[in-house]
Amino acid sequence: MKRIAALLLSFVFVFQSFAWGFLGHKTINNRAVFALPEDLFPFYKIHIDYVTQHSTDPDSRRYLFEDEGCRHFLDCDHYEFAAPLDTVPHNWFKAVEKYTEDTLNAHGIVPWYSMLMLRKLTKAFENKDLIKILKYSADIGHYIADAHVPLHSTSNYNGQHTGQHGIHALWESRLPQLFIDSFDLLTGTVAYVQDPQEFIWNAVSESYEAVDTVLFLEKRIGMLHENNKFSYEIIGNNTVQVYSAAFCNDYYRSMENMVARRMQKAVYAVAAFWYTAWVDAGQPDLKNLSAEIPQDPLDEKAEKARENGKIKGREEHGKD
Ligand SMILES: [Zn+2]
């Protein structure tokens, strides 16, 4: 009996604290390159490894800086019961005026922060500053991708208010891990975005609209799998509890490709924002920029902190 108890205690959830998981973020930034119009595609093709590898930097920085966390989500339900989010000012300064900066930061700022990143990326293009272009491209790809995740648009982000603890990583990590090979991520070539602010708020609104379905179906399919919702895998020295393949399969199918559709939309949005920044910067010629990219010591530091440390601020996958 004791041994069983000890074994049970050693069960840990395998999921990492990364929105869309490593796989999702890397896939989104990588595939966004192929959605670019042909005047910008060659530049990103050269640097595809950078924007792919660095797509998870913003999550790593959450282990270093307290103020990083709020850039990855928006608790829409703090402001409105349902989409559309039309009582929250979409302009940052007006929102600060209405709610104060502290309130906004407490409940997440992903759409506003994506707009700030767009301005920074545009400036980097204007200055033909290669390092900043690549850094901001990778970063904005991450934030935009997060804005497309339904559970990044609610204060019930890990099902902690509805007895569905663990759903965050299930939706954005476990399901992509299992089904990504079947995802249709082709988007066609992106177009210039006339109103990026409304574009990103729409994305968050769509995410918010999907929250009910994400939660309801997990509960319903979970009831059908009362006895086999979880299974155990051995990873290294740990026995790890995971959602079972049978449950994941039924939950994934019940959502009718929602995970793939949100990821596909994220791919489009990331490429469209890259392209829009470049056009707004006057379509600078990037051909002669050096291909040398020095390592940023901060990235290394953040990576180490992630390996050893604890996330600062909101822990999406913890026992909140
Ligand atoms: Zn994130």
pLDDT of residue 128: 95
143 Cα–ligand 1 center, Å: 6
**Which residues sit with Cβ closer than 5 angstroms to ligand 1, an ion?**
19, 59, 72, 146
pLDDT of residue 317: 52
41 Cα–ligand 1 center, Å: 25
In a domain, 309, yes or no: no
In a domain, 177, yes or no: no
pLDDT of residue 17: 45
For the segment 7-25, what is each residue's pLDDT rounded down to a tens digit? 433 333 333 445 577 899 9
**Is the pLDDT reported for residue 227 higher than 50?**
yes
In a domain, 3, yes or no: no
Q: What is the CATH number of the domain that holds 130?
A: 1.10.575.10
229 Cα–ligand 1 center, Å: 27
Cis upstream peptide for 84 (omega within 30°): yes
For the segment 249-262, what is each residue's pLDDT rounded down to a tens digit? 999 999 999 999 99
312 Cα–ligand 1 center, Å: 13
51 Cα–ligand 1 center, Å: 15
pLDDT of residue 220: 97
Q: What's the whole-number average pLDDT of the chain?
A: 90
Strand pairing category for 12-13 and 238-243 = parallel
Q: What mean pLDDT do residues 232-240 have?
A: 88
Closest C-alpha among 1, 14, 17 to residue 241: 14
59 Cα–ligand 1 center, Å: 5
In a domain, 313, yes or no: no
Residue type, 16: Q
For the segment 21-74, what is each residue's pLDDT rounded down to a tens digit? 789 999 999 999 999 999 999 999 999 999 999 999 999 898 888 899 999 999
In a domain, 176, yes or no: no
Half-sphere exposure of 271 (CA within 13 A, CB side): 30
Six-digit token string for 319: 């026992």
139 Cα–ligand 1 center, Å: 10
For the segment 106-115, what is each residue's pLDDT rounded down to a tens digit? 999 999 999 9
In a domain, 239, yes or no: no
Counting every residue written for the chain, the total comes to: 320
d(CA 105, CA 218): 29
* Bigger pLDDT: 317 vs 8: 317
Q: What percent of the chain has pLDDT over 70?
A: 91
95 Cα–ligand 1 center, Å: 22
Name residue, tokens 């829409």. 76
pTM (whole model) above 0.85: yes
Question: How many domains does the chain divide into?
Answer: 1
205 Cα–ligand 1 center, Å: 17
170 Cα–ligand 1 center, Å: 15
247 Cα–ligand 1 center, Å: 26
pLDDT of residue 291: 66
Q: How far is CA 184 from CA 59, 180, 260, 261, in A?
A: 25, 9, 7, 8
For the segment 248-307, what is each residue's pLDDT rounded down to a tens digit? 999 999 999 999 999 999 999 999 999 999 999 999 999 988 667 767 777 777 777 777
- Strands of the sheet containing 230-235, edge to edge, are 12-13, 238-243, 230-235
In a domain, 233, yes or no: no
Range of the domain at 127: 21-164+193-209+257-302
114 Cα–ligand 1 center, Å: 12
**Is the pLDDT reported for residue 211 higher than 80?**
yes
pLDDT of residue 171: 94
68 Cα–ligand 1 center, Å: 9
pLDDT of residue 124: 97
136 Cα–ligand 1 center, Å: 14
**Is the pLDDT reported for residue 214 higher than 80?**
yes
270 Cα–ligand 1 center, Å: 14
Q: Please provide the DSSP assignment of 52-78 as one string.
A: HHGGGHHHHHTTT-GGGGGGG---HHH
| pLDDT-based confidence at residue 314 (cuts at 50, 70, 90) | confident
Q: How far is CA 230 from CA 32, 121, 247, in A?
A: 34, 43, 8
| Signed CA dihedral, 219, 224, 227, 228: sign only | negative
Radius of gyration over every alpha carbon of the chain, rounded to an integer in angstroms? 20
99 Cα–ligand 1 center, Å: 24
pLDDT of residue 187: 97
Q: What mean pLDDT do residues 112-132 have?
A: 97
Cβ–Cβ under 8 Å, residues 179 and 27: no
In a domain, 11, yes or no: no
146 Cα–ligand 1 center, Å: 6
What are the beta bridge partners of residue 168?
none
pLDDT of residue 18: 53
142 Cα–ligand 1 center, Å: 6
What are the beta bridge partners of residue 242?
231
